[in-house]
Amino acid sequence: MIFLGLQEVPYWEEIPQLQETFQRLLEAYKPNAQNHGAYEAARNAWYRSTIHGKEDFCRRVERYRACGRPIWVTGHSPSMADLSPEQMDRAFLYAGEDRGQVLAQRPRSPWLEDYAERVLQDSPQRILELTVGAGGGTCAVAARMREADSMIGVDIDFLCAKNADAIGRFYGARLLGVCCSLWQLPFPENSFSAVCCLNGLNECREVPAILQEAVRVLVPGGRMVLTMAASGYEKYRDLFTLFHISQQEGLDLLQEARLYAAPEDVDAMLQSLGMHKTDGQVLENGGVLAEYEKNQARS
């Protein structure tokens, strides 16, 4: 089970209740095209029964903001102690070559070729991909990987991480999926020559902490290639509408809770962490593709 950040944040002190409720709703409705409206109505009714209006919603976000540190919520514990046998069965399906073929055959935007080319460049790369998700960026890079290239794809959701294994099997690439915290990456400093992320920062809480970790594991002179949406508001529109929160108020709340960083904010954060921007472009969907380089260590 995986939540978007703004579903988690108001309940971060009540995570077991959040998980149990969503599990119950998913089992009751098994949402599909026919009954998705009924599922959403039941979910929204639960939101209203536990969050008592706009002021309560904003108070909950403020409590999270004030905690001042990343909190492990979505996905599984770093030890994987809560991985069930049923999830393991699904993982075998997600990690298979057939699954990789399905993911590889999904339509890809033309600019993804540019993204992959920037990640790989002309020499062998040791790559870290942040947030595998459904594998769109993973497929674009894996399709171009050479024998000497290797990539680890990380995600806080176990089955999303297994998508990387499936894609690697399909393309015959040296590609491994790892489920782990994005805020405490399980890799030593200077482990990777390139870090990439396809729109993942728009799905994450605690972007500053994630960027700090990504820079830590990158070698001096290493590169970071990111795509980011123009606004983090749209995917939360329904939840904001439910509590009569305007677009500007919603964007303010997202930034207060460290749930969204605009491209210019990411530029500033990376510069403060010892990166400099080498190139960038606006994409056809209004998002941004940006490339950065880590400053060489001073002697």
For residue range 176-217, what is the model confidence (pLDDT) as tens digits? Answer: 999 888 888 989 999 999 999 998 888 787 888 899 999 999
**pLDDT higher than threshold 60 for residue 64:** yes
% of the chain surpassing 70 pLDDT: 91
pTM: 0.82
* Joined tokens for residue 132: 């595998």
Q: What is the mean pLDDT of the chain?
A: 87
Q: Is the pLDDT of residue 268 over 50?
A: yes
Residue 206 Ramachandran class (φ > 0 left, ψ -120 to 50 alpha, else beta) = left
| Residue 68 predicted with pLDDT over 70 | no
Q: Other C-beta atoms within 10 Å of 234: how many?
A: 12
Tens digit of each residue's pLDDT (9 = 90 or more) over 99-114: 889 999 998 888 999 9
**Tens-digit pLDDT profile for residues 269-295:** 999 999 999 999 998 878 899 999 999
- Tell me which residue of 13, 1, 68 sits closest to 206, measured CA to CA: 68
Instruction: Please give the single-letter amino acid code of residue 6.
Output: L
pLDDT average, residue stretch 162-181? 93
The closest alpha carbon to 134, from 155, 119, 109, 113, belongs to 155
Q: Can you give the pLDDT at residue 179?
A: 86
Superfamily of domain 85-294: Vaccinia Virus protein VP39 (3.40.50.150)
pLDDT in tens, 77-91: 444 545 667 766 777
